[in-house]
């Protein structure tokens, strides 16, 4: 345990000092890494509305309507029946659409450019499901409650076993479906067939590794980028053969579960789970640009000349402390020491010898 504490301490100190440690990608064929560019400027969220309707107590996804201006569709997390809610700019539920479907764990929702709503029953916390399902319904002719909406069901399976997922993406021009798994170490993008079939099970194809812990995502209208949501950040992903994170911004919420295209079409909104959940509007993170130099350099006052040196010295002090923690970790607590002591003790017991002292001193037979 102390070994882990020291290792974490070392990484934290190096992070504070501005030193970036490389982290292995989730797969060899991936260009998505854990070292991402910061956004410029960091988006400042603005509260857009609050969902106060008691029927929406675990909003787990948001999707902008293609047919109605100022309407977003949402679904509740696992435990709810198959239903979809249309919410306006004030947070009021304008329509509840019910499906007579037996769902397991609905985690995401999306809308394509034709106004088809996709309800993704893809949650699998224990990674035990042989198959996941996506249900499609048309956006209604009018915003009013409907008790039994006709739907189509599509079945999918992963090529490499079950995965937990909370994100469904629809490419605007091709309408191809993509799923993003939520693993902390092996998250990935999976593509559905170009034309999914309602007969049989559609096998997904692994496209590339994905950032860890993604809770929702959406294509932007131009189809050139995807915005992903994690519990701590919003990530701007350039969409290509290998999706690549180009910028990120820290956007905290109570339980960050949803993201969708915003009112302007080039912005986004983010939401969270729980009763009376707030929805915030913000700009898509963009890659930080280098600050431009002034036309005429301004000489620094002599009294300030020591400040950079102080900051520089402080950084190296922090780096030194981190390196010391690493040395202590691997010298004082070498890997396998406990296992070796256990084996030596067992051998001593079998041969009648005195077992070794874990502190390096010979035991007394007294």
Q: Which residues share a beta bridge with 134?
A: 120, 154
Q: In this predicted model, what pLDDT tens digit does every residue of 193-240 receive, in sequence order?
A: 999 999 999 999 999 999 999 999 999 999 999 999 999 999 999 999
For residue 289, the model assigns a pLDDT of 72
For residue 344, the model assigns a pLDDT of 56
Q: In this predicted model, what pLDDT tens digit does every residue of 51-64 receive, in sequence order?
A: 999 999 999 999 99
Contacts of 105 (CB under 8 A, 6+ apart): 77, 78, 121, 122, 123, 124, 125
Question: Distance of CA 150 to CAs 140, 198, 268, 312, 361, Å?
Answer: 11, 14, 30, 66, 77
Question: Distance of CA 24 to CAs 18, 28, 161, 208, Å?
Answer: 19, 9, 22, 14
Indicate the SS3 state at residue 217: strand
Please tell me the distance from the alpha carbon of residue 71 to that of residue 52, in angstroms, as a whole number.
16
Q: In this predicted model, what pLDDT tens digit does every residue of 18-57 receive, in sequence order?
A: 433 332 333 333 434 455 566 666 667 899 999 999 999 9
Q: Is the dihedral of CA 262, 266, 272, 277 positive or negative?
A: negative
pTM of the predicted model over 0.85: no
- The half-sphere exposure of 280 on its side-chain side, counting CA atoms within 13 A, is 19
Q: Are 251 and 233 in contact (CB under 8 A)?
A: yes
Confidence tier at 332 by pLDDT (50, 70, 90): very low
Q: Which residues share a beta bridge with 74?
A: 62, 85
Pick the residue with more confidence: 358 or 110? 110
* The CATH classification of domain 43-283, taken from the options 2.170.120.20, 2.102.10.10, 2.120.10.30, 3.40.190.10: 2.120.10.30
For residue 305, the model assigns a pLDDT of 43
Please tell me the distance from the alpha carbon of residue 27 to that of residue 33, in angstroms, as a whole number.
10
Q: Which two tokens stand for residue 166?
A: 């909370």
Question: Mean pLDDT over all residues of the chain?
Answer: 79
Radius of gyration for the chain, computed over Cα atoms and rounded to the nearest angstrom = 26
Domain positions in the chain are: 1-19+307-359, 43-283
Q: Are 341 and 347 in contact (CB under 8 A)?
A: no
For residue 362, the model assigns a pLDDT of 44
Cis preceding linkage at 41, omega within 30:
yes
Q: Give 191-204 as a DSSP string.
A: EPPSS--SSSEEEP
In which residue are the tokens 């693993």 written?
A: 183
Q: Which of 6, 35, 8 is nearest to 23 (CA)?
A: 35
Q: Are 3 and 10 in contact (CB under 8 A)?
A: no
Indicate the SS3 state at residue 12: helix
Is the pLDDT at 299 greater than 80? The verdict is no
Is the pLDDT at 2 greater than 70? The verdict is no
Please tell me the distance from the alpha carbon of residue 207 to that of residue 27, in angstroms, as a whole number.
10
Mean pLDDT of 167-182: 98
For residue 23, the model assigns a pLDDT of 27
Please tell me the distance from the alpha carbon of residue 134 to that of residue 293, in angstroms, as a whole number.
52
Q: In this predicted model, what pLDDT tens digit does every residue of 86-117 receive, in sequence order?
A: 999 999 999 999 999 999 999 999 999 999 99
For residue 29, the model assigns a pLDDT of 38
Q: Which two tokens stand for residue 303?
A: 């009294």
Contacts of 146 (CB under 8 A, 6+ apart): 95, 96, 97, 98, 140
């Amino acid at each position: 345990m102390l070994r882990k504490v020291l290792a974490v301490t070392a990484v934290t100190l190096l992070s504070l000092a501005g030193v970036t440690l490389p982290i292995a990608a989730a797969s060899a064929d991936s260009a998505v890494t854990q070292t991402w560019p910061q956004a410029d400027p960091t988006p400042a969220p603005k509260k857009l509305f609050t969902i106060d309707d008691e029927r929406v107590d675990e909003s787990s996804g948001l999707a902008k309507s293609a047919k109605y201006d100022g309407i977003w569709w949402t679904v509740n997390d696992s435990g709810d029946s198959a239903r979809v809610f249309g919410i306006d700019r004030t947070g009021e539920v304008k329509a509840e659409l019910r499906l007579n479907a037996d769902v397991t764990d609905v985690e995401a929702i999306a809308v394509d450019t034709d106004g088809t709503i996709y309800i993704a029953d893809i949650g699998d916390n224990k990674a035990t499901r042989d198959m996941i399902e996506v249900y499609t319904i048309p956006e209604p002719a009018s915003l009013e409650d409907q008790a039994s909406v006709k739907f189509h069901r599509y079945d999918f399976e992963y090529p490499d076993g079950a995965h937990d997922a909370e994100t469904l993406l629809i490419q605007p021009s091709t309408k191809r479906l993509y799923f993003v798994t939520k693993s902390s170490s092996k998250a990935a993008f999976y593509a559905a067939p170009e034309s999914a079939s309602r007969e049989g099970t559609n096998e997904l194809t692994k496209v590339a590794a994905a950032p860890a812990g993604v809770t929702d995502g959406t294509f932007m209208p131009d189809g050139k980028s995807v915005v992903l949501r994690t519990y701590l950040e919003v990530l701007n992903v350039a969409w290509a053969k290998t999706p690549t994170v180009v910028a990120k911004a820290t956007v905290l919420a109570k339980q960050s579960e949803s993201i969708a295209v915003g009112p302007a079409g080039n912005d986004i909104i983010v939401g969270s789970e729980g009763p009376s959940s707030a929805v915030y509007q913000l700009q898509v993170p963009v890659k930080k640009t280098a600050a431009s130099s002034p036309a005429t350099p301004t000489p620094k006052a002599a009294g300030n000349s020591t400040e950079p040196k102080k900051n520089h010295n402080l950084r190296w002090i922090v780096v030194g402390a981190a390196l010391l923690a690493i040395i202590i970790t691997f010298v004082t607590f070498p890997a396998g020491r406990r296992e070796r002591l256990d084996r030596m003790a067992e051998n001593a017991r079998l041969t009648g010898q005195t077992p070794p002292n874990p502190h390096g001193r010979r035991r007394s037979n007294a």
